[in-house]
Every structure is written in structure tokens, then in C-alpha cells.
Amino acid sequence: MELFTDKTIDETRQGEAFSSKENQENTFSRKFFIESYGCAMNFSDSEIIASILNSNGYGSTKFEEDADLIFLNTCSIREKAELTIRKRLTEFRKLKKKRPGLLIGVLGCMAERIKGKLLEEEKLVDIVVGPDAYRTLPLLINEAESGTKAVNVLLSRDETYADISPIRLNSNGVSAFVSIMRGCNNMCSFCVVPFTRGRERSRDIESIINECKDLFSQGYKEVTLLGQNVDSYNWVDHVNGTVADFAILLEKVAQISPTLRIRFSTSHPKDITDNVLFTMRKYDNICKYIHLPVQSGSTRILQLMNRTYTREWYLGKVKRIKEIMPECAISADIIAGFCTEEEKDHQDTLGIMREAAYEFSYMFIYSERPGTLAAKRYYDDVDIDTKKRRLAEIIELQNKLSFESNTKDIGKHSEVLIEGDSKRSDAHWVGRNSQNKVVVFEKDPLKQFKKGDYAIVEITDYTQATLFGRIIR
Ligand code: SAH
Ligand code: SF4
Ligand code: F3S
């Protein structure tokens, strides 16, 4: 699920603002400020929340000092993610003293995990709302405005917010997230997500296609279809008696236009099918990149994690992907120091990384989460220094693998979707190729490229994180 390349997501934070016309006109008397943490699903949810608030007369502001309402859309995935939120909340104390009417809301996974207790633990919080209860936000705000603290953490079996048009926040106007399902039924033993986001449910296929078409007509060139486990997407249309799986959804989105790129995240190795792989191969505009979290390379640890595959089965899946699409990049999530992990299990993780030759990885130290199967059944018995050392070895190996993968790109011609000026210089463009690698190249004064255009770039240089090249056409 994690789509940002340079940080673990739960440390990512962004103040957000409307890019919509309504907001530019600034007609709202009451303003909210929203900050998102965690995975892409949370960032996408903030766009749904913005839409709900907007329809109820609240405009967004980029500045917390100007806000009547401050919302933190939170993450619980690791302890550190929650500590970051707690620290951030303390920063609002002064603001609240200065402006007694200011309301503070905690939304998202941490709200769902801790529930009403958050109000006792964090006295300055007025509103607590879980991921399935955002439609009730306007009511809860009214309640809080009249002086009663407000909580709604009910989980739902069918809420997908399918009918709500998200308001794109901090958008680059080129790529957008589209949520295709919510929740997770997998119960990996380390993971808090099934508790914070509830049962898995798929969103109406027509509403997904319409959202993607709408984005394309507004000039967007890339959509990322989001879910905790996209390969188990399953929409049953009871009226027509039809069923759509993820391969069908992918194909329908790919057919919107050959110039609309499609990405998706996350794939659970147990669920990605040959049908999905063949659909990816069939359409050039479906990016050749799969995020396929492995978590560990040791079959014993995978079993304790309840991942339902073995080391060999996972490697078989990687082989199949490469057979069908030799150019496909693969990335992983990896956890260091899960309960009972020994040195030989850790070596198995390093070994599977070499065999799969990941282009990137998102790597974490195991963090015990209250209420999970692992917290109930196993001891968190790997000491922190060992966890840190193993993580450092995993990161070092991944850096080497990324570097080796980039070495092989020299001389290749890559199609790059231009996302904007490079951070380092506005004489350079930055974008990504199909394999999700970041490519930086010099602007050519003779070729009138703009953000959202595709350029063919010859790769001439690289670091472990970035490819550099020159425009061919
Ligand atoms: N649904 C996605 C993952 C969502 S969470 C999937 O199944 O692939 C993103 C990543 O956070 C996980 O893949 C895992 O590597 C990591 N993670 C989840 N729980 C964790 C924990 N308790 N400690 C450390 N890392 C964790
Ligand atoms: Fe968590 Fe596993 Fe579900 Fe991913 S598939 S969200 S790791 S329980
Ligand atoms: Fe995402 Fe964090 Fe929740 S990773 S689903 S925001 S616990």
C-alpha cells in the first residue's frame, strides 16, 4: 500500500488544501485544516472527507492558524506512527488556548483503534471518527460545536463512499488515487488494519470507471487503484447477475484511453492471478510494476505471520510474473525481527530479496500492535538492537539491489510521464517510467513538453534512487 519512495509512510505528513475552484473563490465562512498520515488509502480518504465537508459549508485552508477545525487523519500501523500523532496533538495546545472555539478531530485508523478513550487520553480532542463514519462528520461537528465531545467509530460492512466525488488535495494534476475497495479480511498476525478498517468490501465497478473517466477528462494521466488487497476485488452486480474481478476491472480502466496510465496497490501474493498478469501484459498503459509484499523469507516466520504462502510459493509467483512480463519491476514490504525470528530466518529474508531482486522495498522493524493475533499469541522476543541491526542489513542489501537494477537501465529508452519540475532544478523535468522508477532529465527548449506529457528518455546515468537521461522524443 505504500507508495512513497523516500520515507516510511507513517512519517509522511502533509498539510493539504483544496485545488478546487470553490475554494479559490473562498466563499466559506468556516474553514478546516486536514493533515494525513499513513498509507495512500488515508490520503485518498482525506479527499473524500474534504468533499463531505465542502458540501456542508466548510472550506479548506492550508494554514492551521486560520482553521476553525483541525483534523488529523491518522495511522496505527506501527507504534511510532501513533507517537507521531500524539506529539503533533501537543502542538495544537497553544493554538487552542488562543482560540477557544477551535475544534480538534482525530480521524482514521488511530481513532478506530483507541476509540472514545482518546478523548480521555488527549484532553484537547473534541471529535473522534473512524474510517467508515465520515458521512456523519457534519453532525459530529455540530455536536462538538454545542459543547459535547463527539465519537463515531462504527465499522460498516458496505460503506465504500462510492457516490462521493473526492476533492483532490495537493494534487499535481497528473496522478490521482482511486479507492476500489475498503477493509481487509486477511488477518496477518502482526497487522492492525483488519481491526481499524473492518471487513473487506468492493466498490461498485461503474462508480470506479466513472471516477477514472472523470479524472482523465480533467487532464489526469495516471490513476492508482487502491485497496489493502486489490487482487481480491470482487463486485457482484445483483441486478444483472454479473461478477467483476480485479482482472476485469483493470481491463475496463485500461480501455478508457491508451494515454491513461494505470497503477495499483497492494497485491497480496496469494491472490494475484495469471488473469491479472495477462491483462497487464495486454495493455501498454498498465504499468509494469507490482508491489508484492513478502514480509519475510522464512517459511516458518511466514506461517506465524499467517501470510498463507511459503518461501517457495512466493518465489514461484515472482518467476511467473517475470515469465509473463520480463520487464516488470517488483517491490516488497519487509519486516525485520518478528516474534521468534532467528539469525537463519533473517538470512532467509536476505536470500529471498536477492532471488526476487527487488527494484525497491519498504522496510520496517516489527512493532507489536495491541489486539493483533501476534500480540495475543507470541512474545515480541527479538531485542531492539538485533531488530535494528537486521533492518540495517536489509536496507543495505536493498540499496545494492536497487543500484544493480538501475545499472541495467543504462542505454534503455523509457517512456516517462512528466510530473513536474525536478526538485533540484527547474531546468529539469521529473517523472516516472512504467516500472515506477523516478527519472530526471533536462528540458529541451526545442521540444515543447509540459507536465502530464509522455517523453521518451534515454537513460544515461543513475544513482540508487534515481535514473537520469536525455529526451529522445
Ligand atoms: N495490505 C498491505 C499492507 C498494508 S500495511 C499488504 O498486505 O501488503 C503496510 C506494511 O506495513 C505491511 O506490508 C507490513 O510490511 C508493514 N506492517 C504492518 N504491520 C506492521 C507491524 N506491526 N510492524 C511492522 N511493520 C508492519
Ligand atoms: Fe494487514 Fe495482511 Fe491485510 Fe495487508 S493483507 S492489510 S498486512 S492483514
Ligand atoms: Fe493505512 Fe496506517 Fe490505517 S497504513 S490502513 S493508515 S493503519
What is the residue-wise DSSP string for 51-76?
A: HHHHHTTEEE-S-GGG-SEEEEEE--
Cell numbers 537486521 correspond to what residue? 390
Q: Is 367 in the pocket of ligand 1 (CB under 6 A)?
A: yes
Task: Point out the ligand 2 atom lying closest to the alpha carbon of residue 194.
Answer: 8
Residue 169, in any domain of the structure: no
- Owning domain of residue 29: 9-152
Of the candidates 113, 30, 34, the residue with the CA atom closest to the CA atom of residue 72 = 34
Cα-to-centroid distance, 384 and ligand 2 (Å)? 23
Answer yes or no: do 392 and 428 share one domain: no
Answer yes or no: do 213 and 322 share one domain: yes
Closest protein CA for atom 1 of ligand 3: 39
The residue ranges of DSSP E strands in 6-102, in sequence order, are 14-16, 30-36, 58-60, 69-74
Is the bond into 136 cis (omega within 30 degrees of 0)? Answer: no
Residue 28, in any domain of the structure: yes
Domain at 345, CATH number: 3.80.30.20
Answer yes or no: do 277 and 359 share one domain: yes
Q: Is 182 in the pocket of ligand 3 (CB under 6 A)?
A: no
Pocket test for ligand 2, best of 39, 268, 333 (most atoms within 8 A of CB): 268
Residue 3, in any domain of the structure: no
Answer yes or no: do 331 and 431 share one domain: no
- Model's pTM, two decimal places? 0.94
Q: How far is the C-alpha of 69 from the C-alpha of 39, rounded, in Å?
A: 23
Q: Is 2 in the pocket of ligand 1 (CB under 6 A)?
A: yes
Closest protein CA for atom 1 of ligand 2: 191
Residue 289, in any domain of the structure: yes
DSSP string of 322-341, one letter each residue = HHH-TT-EEEEEEEES-TT-
Q: Is 348 in the pocket of ligand 1 (CB under 6 A)?
A: no
Task: Point out the ligand 2 atom lying closest to the alpha carbon of residue 229.
Answer: 5
* Ligand number, closest to the Cα atom of 82: 3
DSSP β-bridge partners for residue 224: 177, 263
Q: Give the count of beta carbons closer than 10 Å to the beta carbon of residue 468.
A: 18
Answer yes or no: do 427 and 464 share one domain: yes
Answer yes or no: do 426 and 347 share one domain: no
Domain at 449, CATH number: 2.40.50.140
Pocket test for ligand 2, best of 75, 189, 193 (most atoms within 8 A of CB): 193
Answer yes or no: do 361 and 427 share one domain: no
Domain boundary residue among 390, 407, 424?
A: 407
Task: Point out the ligand 2 atom lying closest to the alpha carbon of residue 192.
Answer: 1
In tens digits, what is the pLDDT along the chain, a chain of 473 residues? 433 333 333 333 333 333 343 444 457 889 999 999 999 999 999 999 999 999 999 999 999 999 999 999 999 999 999 999 999 999 998 899 998 899 999 999 999 999 999 999 999 999 999 999 999 999 999 999 999 999 999 999 999 999 999 999 888 999 999 999 999 999 999 999 999 999 999 999 999 999 999 999 999 999 999 999 999 999 999 888 899 999 999 999 999 999 999 999 999 999 999 999 999 999 999 999 999 999 999 999 999 999 999 999 999 999 999 999 999 999 999 999 999 999 999 999 999 999 999 999 999 999 999 999 999 999 999 999 999 999 999 999 999 999 999 999 999 999 999 999 999 899 999 999 999 999 999 998 888 899 999 999 999 999 999 999 999 98
Pocket test for ligand 3, best of 2, 34, 42 (most atoms within 8 A of CB): 42
DSSP letter, residue 167:
P
Residue 148, in any domain of the structure: yes
Answer yes or no: do 217 and 336 share one domain: yes
Residue 14, in any domain of the structure: yes
Domain count, the chain: 3
Residue 159, in any domain of the structure: no
